[in-house]
Amino acid sequence: MRVWLIGAYGIVSTTAMVGAKALEKNLIDKTGLVSELPCFSKLSEYVPLKFEFGGHDIRPLPTAYDAALEHWEMNRHFDRPILDAVADDLKRIKACKGTALNCGEGIKELGKLETLEDEGLTLKEIVERIEKDMKSFADDETVVINVASTEPLPNYNEEYHGSLEGFETMIDEDKKEYASASMLYAYAALKLGLPYANFTPSPGSSIPALKELAEKKGVPHTGNDGKTGETLVKTTLAPMFAYRNLKILGWMSYNILGDFDGKVLSHRENKESKVISKDRVLEKMLGYSPYSITEIEYFPSLVDNKTAFDFIHFEGFLGTRMKFYFIWDGIDAIVAAPLILDIARFLLFAKKKGISGVVKEMGFFFKSPMETNIVNTHQQFEILKKWFAELAEG
């Protein structure tokens, strides 16, 4: 299959590429891949574990190898011989110039950038360029995944975002203030009939106009915001309190991280949608809203080693108050990258089975899954298994 990555030179994208090519060469095992669990064994009949990559990025690096090497030198997040063994594969992957329209001041922290906006293009011309790039790469087994940096909350406008007709009017009238890069990428992908996944909390295909486009084109799409670390633990642990009828009084989550993601999220406007995505899961699971604090802070020396400190204050029998603490300490790209491969495979499987519109059954992979309020990890996994089993047998 083919995967078009928005943010192709980021650490998650390049780690996914390294992993995929290393798997093809039998250099690593399949640890970390949900799609390789025994309950999904039939998936390989529809989508073999073989990938080709392309994408867009706004950093003017020569190839994906140069990007992967840069990230490796900062993080040392896997053994160097693996990167060396797939170097030739990554050198053949060159990202097209992308857009960073309304992506916030945090994007400037990524260093030297080259964007389609720099060429003075209109919205229509930007979309045409994105479509041309995707079309030159895509075949019938291509999916598009947004792994770019988090955008600020959108300037939502019902006239332009509420319907496909309105969205296309926005493009024709060049109303840039109401558009964002993730919306334009999602629009181009869905218009071309390419399944789309949003691994970020940015709007992507979640606005009504693009949900309408997906239904019209008969294309599956899913998101939002990949669930990889602290929130994965939170949505796995919080149900325990509900099952035991223990009342959560308060939950504090304090996240620190470095690398390019941390630089972008150090800006309040870019961080806001990420905090909302992480914070809302408690109410969805518990049915009430305990006092909560969710913070994300930039800590340069950690680079991609994201660390989270969680404190839970809860009430038990006889009104006795107790405390629970945990620390999540993980390499962000290592926990996220295999999910990119998983999501790509399940999305292509959905397309082959004739599924269109939001694939809410893939909510297992996301903090803020579309078209469902189920964020309990246990329930999400059972839903994914049942969905797959029924389609695979059909």
Which 3 state secondary structure label does DSSP give 260? helix
Q: What is the C-alpha to C-alpha distance for residues 360 and 205, in angstroms, rounded to an integer?
A: 13
Structure tokens at 179: 């558009």
H helices of 62-173, where?
64-75, 80-85, 87-91, 123-137, 158-161, 164-172
Q: Give the Cβ contact number of residue 318 at 10 Å.
A: 5
82-107 burial: b if 16+ Cβ within 10 Å, else e? bbebbeebbeebbbbbbbbbbbbebb
- Assess whether the previous peptide bond of 155 is cis (omega < 30° from 0): no
**What is the 8-class DSSP label of residue 42?**
T
Is there a shared CATH topology between the 2-226+334-393 domain and the 230-330 domain? no
Q: What is the C-alpha to C-alpha distance for residues 24 and 41, in angstroms, rounded to an integer?
A: 17
Q: What is the DSSP string of 331-362?
A: EHHHHHHHHHHHHHHHHHHHHHTT--EE-GGG
Q: What is the C-alpha to C-alpha distance for residues 260 and 163, in angstroms, rounded to an integer?
A: 34
Q: Give the Cβ contact number of residue 362 at 10 Å.
A: 26
Q: Is 132 exposed, middle or buried (0-12, 13-18, 19+ CB in 10 A)?
A: exposed
**What is the 8-class DSSP label of residue 180?**
-
pLDDT by position in tens, the chain (length 394): 999 999 999 999 999 999 999 999 999 999 999 999 999 999 999 999 999 999 999 999 999 999 999 999 999 999 999 999 999 999 999 999 999 999 888 877 788 899 999 999 999 999 999 999 999 999 999 999 999 999 988 899 999 999 999 999 999 999 999 999 999 999 999 999 999 999 999 999 999 999 999 999 999 999 999 999 899 999 999 999 999 999 999 999 999 988 877 777 767 777 676 777 677 889 999 999 999 999 989 999 999 999 999 999 999 999 999 999 999 999 999 999 999 999 999 999 999 999 999 999 999 999 999 999 999 999 999 999 999 999 999 7
Q: Determine the pLDDT at residue 109.
A: 75
Q: Does domain 2-226+334-393 have CATH number 3.40.50.150?
A: no
**Distance from first CA to last CA of the chain, Å, rounded?**
22
Structure tokens at 46: 């529809």
What homologous superfamily does CATH list for 230-330? Answer: Dihydrodipicolinate Reductase; domain 2 (3.30.360.10)
User: How is the chain split into domains, by residue range?
Assistant: 2-226+334-393, 230-330
